[in-house]
Amino acid sequence: MSDATPRETIFSGIQPSGELHLGNYLGAIRNWVALQSSYRCFYCIVDYHAITQAFEPSEMARRVRDMAGDLIACGIDPAQSTLFVQSAVPEHTELAWVLASVTSYGELGRMTQFKDKSEKSPDNINAGLFTYPVLQAADILVYKATKVPVGEDQRQHLELAREIVRRFNTRFGDTFPEPEALYSSTPKILGLDGQAKMSKSLGNTISLREDDEAVWNKLRTAATDPARVRRTDAGDPDKCNVFSLHRFFTTEERQAEVRKGCTSASIGCIECKKWLLEGIKADLERIRARRAELLSKPDAIDEILADGARRARKVAAATMAVVRERLGLPRMPGPAG
Ligand code: TRP
């Protein structure tokens, strides 16, 4: 980078869920893409976090690669940002162990995500799930990141990371900056049911990999203003989840047209949805074209991730060297020879 002033460092992570959906894209990834030009960004596929819940080992490599492909297709530029897989940079787990020693049992027990996940899978309340937020803090701190784009659901984890920094710095000397959350300004994206957050596990998503016909089949039956029962009823766009999606895909003039048509019952929900489809199609086509280009080069994704891991490791290893020194631990011997 040729800028004179050093850029602030951003870190964010995403679980390798397999593929991105419209909610991830609108809520998080578009923001990651926008941040690339003004920050030094580390974007990480957090496979070590993913193994704290039930998973199928034979599917993991594909999940990771698909997620990387989707992120790049959405506009994460590996030449600009460091895109990599968590387990390829062992300093994350190394630092997590150190940080675990300044994190209290009580604090971890109060994490609402731990409590929720424990309740959902009472037969798999493992120590990894319990210390998940410590690994998350290590992810951020090993790059000394100062800004962390996340959703509101990560607020408690970020607060804990800040507390860990204060405690570490007080005890061992100033080492880490306190990372600040960058909450996305996008309101929560609801699923097609118009009830719950769009989420793969709830089956209410539009995947970025769906073709136009599949997208239309889902949109066609998507929930709208529940009070608009008949075509002749006037609707309230502000109570309609489909209208809320128009904001992302439709010009303002067209949105005004939809609003007028809906409130006067001069257009039906199907017309409104057709207009939305046009906008979604344009975005998905661009994403699809990028993905196709990427997949046309064999091994391209693996090479990008390997290069990202090498770049990330340089930074992470330098941080760990300082951490070891602060703790009075021996220096890591260099490679043999
Ligand atoms: N826990 C985050 C999530 O589920 C993912 C994550 C892991 C993360 N490490 C991170 C996010 C570090 C921000 C910073 O969404």
Is residue 337 domain-resident?
no
What span, in angstroms and rounded, lies between the C-alpha atoms of 199 and 122? 21
Q: Note whether 224 and 241 are within 8 A (CB).
A: yes
Is residue 207 domain-resident?
no
Helix axes 212-220, 269-295, angle to 10 degrees: 150
Assess whether 197 carries a catalytic annotation.
yes
Query: From the CA of 195, how far away is ligand 1's center (Å)?
Result: 24
Let me know whether 83 and 172 are in one domain: yes
Measured from the Cα of 49, ligand 1's closest atom is 7
Let me know whether 181 and 283 are in one domain: no
Give nearest CA residue, ligand 1 atom 13. 12
Let me know whether 51 and 177 are in one domain: yes
Let me know whether 240 and 260 are in one domain: yes
Is residue 178 domain-resident?
yes
Task: Report residue 127: phi and psi, to 5°.
Answer: -65, -30
Let me know whether 247 and 119 are in one domain: no
Q: Which CATH number covers residue 83?
A: 3.40.50.620
Let me know whether 289 and 305 are in one domain: no
Residues comprising the chain, all counted: 337
Phi-psi category of 104—alpha, beta or left, where left has phi over 0 and alpha has psi -120 to 50? beta
Let me know whether 144 and 256 are in one domain: no
Is residue 64 domain-resident?
yes
Ligand 1 binding pocket, CB closer than 6 Å: 11-13, 15, 46, 49, 136, 139-140, 148, 150, 154
Is residue 4 domain-resident?
no
Give nearest CA residue, ligand 1 atom 3. 14
Is residue 206 domain-resident?
no
Show the DSSP H helices in 101-240 as ranges. Answer: 105-109, 112-120, 127-130, 132-141, 155-172, 212-220
Collapsed DSSP state (helix, strand, coil) of residue 51: coil
Query: From the CA of 123, how far away is ligand 1's center (Å)?
Result: 24
Residues 224, 203, 75, 294, Cα dihedral to 10° = -130
What span, in angstroms and rounded, lies between the C-alpha atoms of 304 and 309? 9
Residue range 119-149, pLDDT digits in tens: 999 999 999 999 999 999 999 999 999 999 9
Full residue range of the structural domain in which residue 284 is found = 212-293
**Residue in 197, 239, 274, 281 annotated catalytic:** 197
Query: From the CA of 306, how far away is ligand 1's center (Å)?
Result: 21
Is residue 165 domain-resident?
yes
Let me know whether 286 and 312 are in one domain: no
Non-local (6+) Cβ contacts of 50 within 8 A are 15, 16, 60, 63
Let me know whether 100 and 152 are in one domain: yes
Q: How many domains does the chain have?
A: 2
Assess whether 314 carries a catalytic annotation.
no
Query: From the CA of 31, how far away is ligand 1's center (Å)?
Result: 15
**Residue in 144, 200, 218, 281 annotated catalytic:** 200
Q: Which CATH number covers residue 234?
A: 1.10.240.10
Residue range 165-208, pLDDT digits in tens: 999 999 999 999 999 999 988 888 999 999 999 998 899 999 99
Query: Each residue's pLDDT tens digit in the chain (337 positions)?
Result: 555 678 999 999 999 987 799 999 999 999 999 999 999 999 999 999 999 999 999 999 999 999 999 999 999 999 999 999 999 999 999 999 999 999 999 999 999 999 999 999 999 999 999 999 999 999 999 999 999 999 999 999 999 999 999 999 999 999 999 999 999 888 889 999 999 999 988 999 999 999 999 999 999 999 999 999 999 999 999 999 999 999 999 999 999 999 999 999 999 999 999 999 999 999 999 999 999 999 998 899 999 999 999 999 999 999 999 999 999 999 988 776 5
Let me know whether 35 and 85 are in one domain: yes
Measured from the Cα of 11, ligand 1's closest atom is 14
Let me know whether 235 and 151 are in one domain: no
Is residue 334 domain-resident?
no
Let me know whether 305 and 267 are in one domain: no
What global pTM score does this model have?
0.94
Collapsed DSSP state (helix, strand, coil) of residue 23: helix
